[in-house]
């Protein structure tokens, strides 16, 4: 079976964008791929954060992933910092990646903008991400649209490595969903919905109360026209609601567009709110069950780290050998 690998940062509560852009695909891929998923805590410390909250947020993110449908019997779920191969491979890949290509990363430019000091870790973030992927001989990486450039870099690093040291690394492909890959902020529909940026008004966290979800969706920003059509360029707010409604009801966008043609924005928002509340109801219930038994999640993550480490250790041994490091006798 082909292997998929993907990761999510424990930077805050998972939202609808994470789910529709990435995690929905992760759940589906468990049946068709050898699937490995990772809570990337080492990525989360590249931007300012609260150390007192990181461990809890990491556990919480893993718990939400399980509630969303990851099944530890059918996939490997673990915490990045539990497997040291990620940081070890990062160093070696740092010597293959160039400062010039890292400087071109738009996420670095965006996250660094306006900060008085930016960590070297934030600059190196894409190399750690490449190491995550390449440490598992990954074929396919399901991510949202914002990660396209990072994936391209991981491929370039793998190709350059293989060219320089002989065929060692598997060159991965990005898997970006045809819709849902870019869920927009409800208040600022030209910016992506995000855990760490913007105000919470524009975001729907997967665990939000039904009342909060309804309020956020019914006060979503649209435009001053009144026609309902899917046009992300001209009508980003309406297009965003249509894609969310389609995803939550399992319908195609043209179908929801047709269902709502001629109706007002109020009706579209109300229908979207109702669909999202219903869609997330079982996830909330499963989360509460898992939350009641934190020892179980901890045990699952330990098992996941063991499985992941067994794979990564083989790859890192191959890499050490390829770059000419003296083997430890
Ligand atoms: P942060 O705001 O801390 O950067 P984030 O909300 O962007 O976090 P990540 O942990 O960086 O979330 O991303 C996890 C996955 O979710 C990635 O595959 C990413 O592409 C996807 N993703 C994030 N935001 C969106 C969005 N608004 N629409 C679709 N996919 C998204
Ligand atoms: N940078 C990614 C998270 C991430 C990731 C990965 C995704 C870290 N390592 C490996 C796929 C594969 C993001 O979503 N911001």
pLDDT digits (tens, 9 = 90+) for 178-222: 877 899 999 999 999 998 766 889 999 999 999 999 999 999 999
**Residue 180, pLDDT score:** 79
Q: How far apart are the first and last CA of the chain?
A: 34
Question: What sign results for the dihedral spanned by CA atoms 218, 224, 227, 228?
Answer: negative
Q: What pLDDT shows up at residue 197?
A: 67
192 catalytic? Reply is yes
With a 6 A CB cut-off, is 41 part of the ligand 2 pocket?
no
Q: How far apart are CA 77 and CA 23, in angstroms?
A: 12
* Ligand 1 near 150 CB (within 6 A): no
pLDDT reported for residue 5? 98
Least confident of 56-65, 90-99, 106-115, 274-283: 106-115
Mean pLDDT score across all residues of the chain: 96
Question: Residue 179: what pLDDT?
Answer: 78
Mean pLDDT over 169-175 rounds to 97
Higher pLDDT, 318 or 262: 318
Decide: helix, strand or coil at residue 96. coil
Atom of ligand 1 nearest to the CA of 22: 18
Query: How much is the pLDDT for 305?
Result: 98
What does the pLDDT look like over 52-86, one tens digit per residue? 999 999 999 999 999 999 999 999 999 999 999 99
For 112-137, what is the mean pLDDT? 96
Query: Residue 153: helix, strand or coil by DSSP?
Result: helix
What does the alpha-carbon distance between residue 17 and residue 193 come to, in Å, rounded to a whole number? 6
pLDDT by residue (tens digit) across 128-149?
999 999 999 999 999 999 999 9
Helix (H) or strand (E) holding 283: helix 265-291
Distance (angstroms) between ligand 1 centre and the Cα of 17 equals 6
Q: What pLDDT does 321 receive?
A: 98
Pocket test for ligand 1, best of 8, 12, 14, 18 (most atoms within 8 A of CB): 18
Q: If you average pLDDT over residues 268-295, what whole number do you get?
A: 96
Instruction: Report pLDDT for 327.
Output: 94
Q: Whose CA is nearest to atom 23 of ligand 1?
A: 18
Atom of ligand 1 nearest to the CA of 12: 3
pLDDT at position 199 is: 80
Which tens digit of pLDDT belongs to each residue from 216-262? 999 999 999 999 999 999 999 999 999 999 999 999 999 999 999 99
> What is the CA(6)–ligand 2 centre distance, in A?
6
Does the C-beta of 193 come closer than 6 Å to ligand 1?
Answer: yes
Residue of 13, 21, 184, 185 to test ligand 1 pocket, by largest number of atoms within 8 Å of CB: 21
* Helix, strand and coil percent figures for the chain, each rounded to 5: 55, 10, 35
* Whether the CB of 243 sits within 6 Å of ligand 1: no
Is the distance from the beta carbon of residue 196 to the nearest atom of ligand 1 less than 6 Å?
yes
Q: Choose the catalytic residue: 109, 111, 235, 314.
A: 111
Global confidence as pTM: 0.95
Residue 280 to residues 124, 221, 292, Cα–Cα distance (Å): 35, 22, 19
Q: Is 263 a catalytic residue?
A: no
How far apart are alpha carbons 67 and 120 in whole angstroms?
34
Task: Give pLDDT, residue 198.
Answer: 65
111 catalytically annotated: yes
What angle, 0 to 180 degrees and rounded to 10, lies between the N-to-C axes of helices 265-291 and 236-249? 50
pLDDT at residue 101, rounded to an integer: 98
Q: Measured between alpha carbons, how far is residue 188 from residues 120, 191, 203, 254 in Å? A: 30, 6, 10, 24
Residue whose CA is at the smallest distance from ligand 2 atom 12: 6
pLDDT at 163 over 80: yes
Please state the rounded mean pLDDT for residues 157-183.
94
């Amino acid at each position: 079976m082909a292997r998929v690998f993907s990761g999510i940062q424990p930077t805050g509560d998972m939202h609808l964008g994470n789910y529709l852009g990435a995690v929905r695909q992760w759940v589906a891929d468990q049946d068709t791929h050898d699937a490995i998923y990772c809570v990337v805590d080492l990525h989360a410390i590249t931007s300012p954060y609260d150390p007192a909250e990181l461990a809890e947020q990491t556990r919480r993110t893993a718990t939400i992933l399980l509630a969303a449908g990851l099944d530890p019997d059918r996939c490997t779920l673990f915490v990045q910092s539990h497997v040291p191969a990620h940081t070890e491979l990062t160093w070696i890949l740092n010597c293959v990646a160039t400062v010039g290509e890292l400087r071109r990363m738009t996420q670095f430019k965006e996250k660094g903008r306006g900060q008085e000091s930016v960590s070297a870790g934030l600059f190196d973030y894409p190399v750690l991400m490449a190491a995550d992927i390449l440490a598992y001989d990954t074929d396919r990486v399901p991510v949202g649209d914002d990660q396209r450039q990072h994936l391209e870099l991981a491929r370039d690093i793998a190709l350059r490595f293989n060219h320089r040291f002989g065929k060692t690394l598997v060159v991965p492909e990005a898997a970006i969903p045809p819709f849902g890959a870019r869920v927009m902020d409800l208040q600022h529909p030209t910016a992506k919905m995000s855990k760490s940026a913007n105000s919470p008004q524009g975001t729907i966290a997967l665990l939000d109360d039904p009342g909060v979800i309804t309020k956020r969706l019914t006060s979503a920003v649209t435009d001053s026209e009144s026609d309902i059509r899917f046009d992300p360029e001209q009508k980003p707010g309406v297009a965003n609601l249509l894609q969310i409604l389609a995803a939550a009801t399992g319908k195609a966008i043209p179908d929801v567009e047709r269902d709502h043609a001629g109706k007002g924005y109020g009706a579209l928002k109300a229908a979207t709110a109702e669909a999202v509340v219903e869609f997330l109801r079982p996830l909330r219930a499963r989360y509460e069950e898992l939350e009641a038994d934190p020892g179980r999640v901890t045990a699952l993550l330990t098992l996941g780290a063991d499985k992941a480490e067994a794979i990564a250790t083989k790859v890192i041994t191959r890499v050490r050998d390829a770059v000419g490091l003296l083997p430890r006798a």
